[in-house]
Structure 1
């Protein structure tokens, strides 16, 4: 049946319960104007269904409960308006279903409980706006979801079931994505999520029999300030109280697949999400300090720079508290620096000798109680920063 390049007038168009037989159904480059277009309960037979380059207006497009045969279903380059596009409970045969380069408006794209055959379902280079994309309880064989543009939309795929490969590759614009849920989904083949997304994906209760690749996935923990709270929150608080559990699940998956660097990223997000919400106030303060000083063991430069800065600061303190008046100024600075360095790296064999000699010159061998207190404080800070440097090196070069 050939409707290729047909132009339909403005108004609703109803193909409900239509039976198209087993030949090719061709709506390629058809123009449907602005009315609602309904294929509810339509039966397309076993031939190819072609909507290549078709243009829909701002009305709703309804394929709910439609049945497609074993031929390919092609929406390549199709443009949908701002209405909803509905494939609710639609049944597809074993052919490929292709939405490559399709353009969806602000309405919802709904595949709730849709049943796909053994072909590939392809969303490469599609454009999605602000509506919801729904795959809840859908059943697919292979899914390639690689949009080129995403607005502030939601992707809801709870209890999704995919028999073979599932690939979700998000673009930089996916930072506008507000919600991504695969909770309870089942994957009997490899699963890959990659790209920069503006939310924490929900993979809780998912089941996968193959590897889950999260190595190229970057997520954004959304946080807000809570100014009117007691005790006061010293840093922003996670918007979604479930983000801690979501990040923990991502960390668990990364650890299972021995992706240590991804596990560190997700562990850091988990700690930030639980801060102030699930962690005590004092624990949150310590957690914040851990984050600032070393990014949870992911940064080596920060604690190393802090160690050097504190070495200089304590050098100034030791010089300011000198007691002898006979030594020259240059000697005072050298001895104060040696004392500070020896306290910063006390594990070196020479540190003890350098520290004793510097104390003899600066304080005639009898430092005051205040000097001892400063030395103890420096020792504590130095131990912390050296530990963080060691932790960062371990995480960086862990096999």
Structure 2
């Protein structure tokens, strides 16, 4: 077997076992005098070394700063390492065998390496509640668990925690109220046969990344209810999950990557106000066999292109803000900002399509408006982009009724003043002229009314006699065209507001 310890003096084999049998006081006294020594229990069978309660008793043991080797050790029934301090150096439980409950609650791990790789835990709870891990790499890669695994209230400070390709046969993996300070988590390729992964009750994440790439939850869920997420990225690529509850209390400027994610049941993305800091939310090519809910106020466009779903997708409370940048100098000049990412138009088109499929007209209007903004100057011609700017300014793409209504009132009032100013008949002086200007302007703005034609002719005669002149004709045509546009926008807004 490869030597797993450093070159420091080593207490191992029968000598280490005999010292341990003498109890905690004798053990800790020896460690105080030999704190730099390695301790090697490799291959030791502790199955018959039980106290009166059937436990292998390591409660409160100190292990100094040398390496601690339990490689391929066998612990049989219950094992209790509660409140133990494993000091520094390496801690190796690789390929160890545990039976029954295993307790590491409130233990301290400041080791440069904590290795439980390929360890096998029997039926019973594995409890790391309240444990503290700092400044090292902690790996449970390829380990097997057959009961609940609890890290409730544990602390990981500058730690890389790895469960890659681990197997959880039954029971939950619980990180409730756990604190991750600049820690990285890796569940890539892990399998949960009959249990869930819980990050609930204000689990706090720092800036480290969390990886679920290719993880499989056959009959289990992933739950972030109430978690406080930092700036680290979260990767769900190609993961298979029964249900996903992504409902954190806070989130930083992270990226959520979930391409080809597959979820059998319900999926909930309810993002907090701080989600405005998100850099991306990508579920491209994901598959949702149950209802999907996506809520939040985002400053990015989530990518749900090529997704497959068989139940309703709720986007009614999803509000997005199109990221835009100032244009570069060129000809013809771009008269407004343009989309930062040219792909945002396609992303918004997919959001609009899903909203229309679910008869959510208001959400479809919001996404359609942003889609037009995203296409401006990129997919739309220069002249079309100018018209698009006007459409946006005067009606917010048919979502606003007040803007065209106010524009029509202003146009009518301005035209009234111009008609009065251009009057040539002396009978149009004073209030009479203003009244006739108002009648001419109103009748020209509302030509569809039955009285409009007669009122317009009478007002023209009163103001200009038999020949209004070219300027008045141009003014009337311009007012008529603009009035028609504003009336159309008012009608479009009413139609969109009261669409059934």
Paired residue for 1:3?
104
Query: Could you tell me which residue of structure 1 aligns to residue 31 of structure 2?
Result: none
Secondary structure of 1:85 counterpart: strand
The answer to whether residue 157 in structure 2 is matched with residue 57 in structure 1 is yes
Worse-matched range after superposition: 3-12 or 96-105: 3-12
Cα offset for 1:229?
A: 2.7
Q: Is the 8 A contact 2:105 2:130 kept in 1?
A: yes
- 1:114 and 2:215 aligned: yes
* SS of aligned partner of 1:131: coil
* Cα distance, 1:326 vs structure 2: 3.5
The alignment status of 1:78 with 2:178, answered yes or no, reads yes
Matches for 1:1-399 after TM superposition, within 5 Å: 1-44=102-145, 46-100=146-200, 101-399=202-500
Shift of 1:95: 1.7
More strand by share: 2
Identify if the C-alpha distance between structure 1 residues 229 and 22 changes in structure 2 by more than 3 Å, giving closer, same or farther: farther
CA distance in 2 between partners of 1:365 and 1:20 (Å): 103
Paired with 1:80 and 1:15, the residues of 2 have a C-alpha distance of 19
**CA–CA separation in structure 2 for the residues paired with 1:9 and 1:148:** 30
Point out 4+ residue stretches in structure 1 off by more than 4 angstroms: none
Q: C-alpha separation between the residues in 1 aligned to 2:401 and 2:242?
A: 44
The structure whose Rg is larger is: 2
**Aligned-pair RMSD on alpha carbons?**
1.0
**What secondary structure is seen at the aligned counterpart in 2 of 1:150?**
coil
**Greater displacement, 10-19 / 261-270:** 10-19
Q: Deviations over 1:186-239 (max 9, x none)?
A: 011110101111211111110001111101101111000013232211111111
* Residue-pair matches, total: 398
**Could you tell me how far apart the structure 2 residues matched to 1:230 and 1:20 are?**
69
Question: Hey, what does 2:98 align to over in structure 1?
Answer: none
Mapped partners of 1:327, 1:28: distance in 2: 91
TM-score normalized by the length of structure 2: 0.78
Query: CA distance change for structure 1 residues 218 and 327 in 2, over 3 Å: closer, same or farther?
Result: closer
CA distance in 1, matches of 2:320, 2:336: 19
Q: Distance in 1 between matches of 2:217 and 2:444?
A: 68
Shift of 1:334: 0.7
Which stretch shifts more, 326-335 or 307-316? 326-335
Distance 2:417 2:128 in 1: 81
3-state SS of 1:374 partner = helix
1:67-110: CA deviation from partner (whole Å, max 9, x where unpaired): 11211211111111213211111111222221112111111110
Note the alpha carbon deviations across 1:255-291, whole angstroms, 9 max, x for none: 1111111000010111111111111111111111101
Give per-residue Cα distances to partners, 1:324-365, cap 9 Å, x unaligned: 124431101111011101111111111112111111110013
What residue ranges of structure 1 are gaps of 5+ in the alignment?
A: none
Q: Is the 8 A contact 2:324 2:338 kept in 1?
A: yes
Kept after mapping to 1: 8 A contact 2:192/2:220: no
- Structure 1: how far apart are the matches of 2:330 and 2:428? 55
Q: Shift of the alpha carbon at 1:10?
A: 4.5
Q: Deviations over 1:21-58 (max 9, x none)?
A: 221100111111222211111212x2111111110011
Alpha-carbon distance in 2 for matches of 1:36, 1:320: 84
The farther-off stretch of 119-128 and 272-281 is: 119-128
Structure 1 residue 147: Cα displacement? 1.1
